[in-house]
């Protein structure tokens, strides 16, 4: 009888363990979510600030209930996320921005996508400027007319003092932005403007001329210098086959993979490996082959089906790019100029390199 009771207890424990395992594993993921930027460009803007490396963008993926599936740098994210069928919110931003700051453009995108069972859902991220900015052009006569005054730009989250010699753009969250003058009589609001995301406003500040009968300051909105959305777009139309004529218009790895036959074009990506064979590649050092490298869409890429193979002919380019002599190149962003071929070591590749640039 004791043996029977002991046997029953063992079966109960085993069943509980199996149920526990099932709860840990959860439902089998049967959809795949893949992310990429439409095209990584470094100069699709008139602003003086440098567009940040998309590898450092902050990526967040949440399900319809708000549960976070991934939160961290885009460059460190998985190449694909296996998820249950349903809707997901994908958002990226170049940095966190909560208060006014100089030289702080924030680029990003947010999309809601639906992942179907047993399907690959590809999300193309088209990043634009998410905040707005103001630049002041302060005339000499203002400096002489109001020597003790100071100018401030303010929104609901904070303010910035705009020095007379300041040349940078002040960035704000979209909304009402006020220009204030502070002096011995306290603060005076000179003007308030409502700006949308992607708008940069230039205000010319000057004192009235001697012949003018009007009092106070003269404020002009320089509409010729009010940059709008298309001046701040990172990315371009997919599948157009255009681009690649310069480093600033370099093809992404994904675009280059679809552009076999293109000659003398620029391509950009991240060096993710080397030691190519017909069926594999090495993604960690040490490396032994100087004749090739592999570039991917992000520095964490390990799936060669997402990559481009690169032939390194003997010469300066091989000397500078091969991972045997330059192991620190692994993970670096690179711009390459050459011909795109259907296959080199079994995947689309680049041959006949004529120029390169590491960043």
Report DSSP state, residue 127.
Answer: B
Does residue 356 contact residue 334 with C-beta atoms inside 8 Å? yes
State the average pLDDT over residues 111-115.
94
Q: Among residues of the chain, what percentage have pLDDT more than 90?
A: 47
Beta strand spans in 94-235 (E): 101-102, 107-115, 120-125, 128-129, 132-138, 150-155, 158-162, 170-172, 175-183, 186-195, 200-206, 218-221
12 Rama sector, left if φ>0, alpha if ψ -120 to 50, beta otherwise: alpha
CA distance 300 to 284: 11
Please check whether residue 346 is in contact with residue 335, taking contact to mean a CB–CB distance below 8 angstroms. Answer: no
pTM: 0.66
Closest by alpha carbon to 155, among 122, 208, 192? 192
Least confident range from 62-66, 89-93, 171-175, 221-225: namely: 221-225
pLDDT at 50 over 60: no
Q: Find the range with the poorest average confidence among 68-77, 140-149, 278-287.
A: 140-149
The DSSP call for residue 76 is G
Task: Please give the average per-residue pLDDT across 28-32, as a whole number.
Answer: 74
pLDDT-derived band at 4 (thresholds 50, 70, 90) equals very low
Average pLDDT of the residues in 166-175: 93
The arithmetic mean of pLDDT across residues 277-300, rounded, is 93
Give the torsion sign (CA, 342, 344, 346, 347).
Answer: negative
- Which pLDDT tens digit goes with each residue over 226-242? 443 322 222 333 333 45
Confidence of residue 128 (pLDDT cuts 50, 70, 90): confident
Proportion of the chain above pLDDT 70, given as a percent: 79
Give pLDDT tens digits for 75-112: 888 888 999 999 999 999 999 999 999 999 999 999 99
């Amino acid at each position: 009888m004791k043996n029977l009771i002991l046997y029953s207890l063992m079966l109960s424990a085993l069943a509980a363990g199996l149920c526990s395992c099932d709860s840990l594993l959860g439902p089998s993921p049967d959809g795949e979510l893949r992310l990429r930027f439409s095209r990584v460009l470094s100069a699709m803007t008139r602003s003086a600030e440098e567009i940040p490396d998309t590898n450092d963008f902050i990526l967040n993926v949440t399900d319809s209930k708000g549960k976070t599936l991934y939160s961290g740098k885009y460059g460190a994210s998985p190449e694909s996320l296996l998820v249950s069928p349903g809707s997901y919110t994908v958002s990226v931003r170049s940095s966190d921005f909560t208060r006014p700051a100089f030289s702080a453009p924030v680029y990003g995108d947010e999309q809601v996508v639906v992942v179907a069972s047993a399907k690959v859902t590809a999300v193309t991220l088209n990043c634009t400027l998410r905040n707005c900015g103001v630049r002041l052009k302060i005339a000499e006569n203002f400096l002489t007319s109001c020597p003790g005054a100071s100018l401030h730009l303010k929104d609901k989250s904070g303010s910035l003092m705009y020095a007379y010699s300041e040349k940078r753009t002040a960035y704000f969250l979209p909304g009402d932005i006020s220009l204030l003058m502070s002096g011995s009589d306290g603060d005076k609001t000179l003007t308030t403007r409502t700006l949308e995301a992607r708008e940069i406003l230039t205000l010319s500040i000057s004192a009235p001329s001697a012949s003018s009968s009007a009092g106070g300051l003269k404020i002009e909105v320089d509409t010729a210098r009010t940059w709008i959305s298309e001046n701040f777009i990172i990315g371009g139309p997919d599948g157009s086959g255009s681009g690649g004529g310069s480093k600033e218009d370099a093809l992404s790895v994904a675009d280059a993979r679809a552009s076999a036959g293109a000659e003398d074009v620029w391509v950009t990506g991240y060096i993710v490996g080397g030691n190519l064979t017909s069926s594999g590649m090495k993604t960690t050092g040490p490396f032994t082959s100087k004749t090739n490298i592999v570039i991917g869409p992000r520095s964490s890429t390990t799936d060669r089906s997402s990559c481009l193979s690169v032939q390194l002919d003997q010469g300066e380019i091989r000397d500078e790019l091969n991972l045997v002599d330059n192991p620190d190149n692994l993970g670096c962003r690179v711009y390459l100029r050459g011909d795109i071929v259907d296959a080199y070591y079994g995947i689309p590749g680049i041959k006949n390199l004529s120029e390169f640039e590491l960043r």
